[in-house]
Amino acid sequence: DIVMTQTPLSLSVTPGQPASISCKSSQSLLNSDGKTYLHWYLQKPGQSPQVLIYEVSSRFSGAPDRFSGSGSGTDFTLKISRVEAEDVGVYYCMQGIHLPRTFGQGTKLEIK
């Protein structure tokens, strides 16, 4: 199974400041079709997870443009350009190249 490792596991950020989360996979997520199947989710308190970013850097419908994704191969980053109060929750990366799908441990973002 592909192991997904996120750092840090928690973040405390002042509104308006940037934030960054790292996700590393134990195997390359680059598929033979040229696409890299790394996706980012946010689970807000009391809610189900929702897609933010798919295929490393594409923003999902409705995701604010302050969220961006980057990376390749096995190393990926989610960035929030200016954190807002509504961004609190737990962020997860997930690999979509192999079954079983596997998730990172989650990064909890709180507002200072």
Partner 1 sequence: ELHLVESGGGLVQPGGSLRLSCAASGFTFSSYWMHWVRQSPEKGLVWVSRISTDGSSTYYADSVKGRFTISRDNAKNTLYLQMNSLRAEDTAVYYCARDYKTMIDSWGQGTLVTVSS
Q: Which residues here bind partner 1, judged by CB under 8 A?
A: 37, 39, 48-51, 54-55, 60, 92, 94, 96-97, 99-103, 105-106
Q: Which residue, 22 or 60, has its beta carbon nearer to partner 1?
A: 60
Cβ of residue 95: shortest distance to partner 1, in angstroms? 9
Tell me which residue of 99, 90, 105 sits closest to 4, measured CA to CA: 105
Distance (Å) of CA 39 to CA 9, 17, 56, 77, 87: 17, 23, 6, 11, 17
Cβ of residue 50: shortest distance to partner 1, in angstroms? 7
Cβ of residue 46: shortest distance to partner 1, in angstroms? 10
Cβ of residue 109: shortest distance to partner 1, in angstroms? 15
Q: Which residue, 85 or 99, has its beta carbon nearer to partner 1?
A: 99
Q: Which residue, 12 or 31, has its beta carbon nearer to partner 1?
A: 31
Q: Which residue, 79 or 101, has its beta carbon nearer to partner 1?
A: 101
Kindly provide the residue ranges of all beta strands, DSSP E only, lying in the chain, ordered along the sequence: 4-7, 10-13, 19-25, 38-43, 50-54, 58-59, 67-72, 75-80, 89-95, 102-103, 107-111
- Is residue 3 within 8 A of residue 98, CB to CB? The reply is no
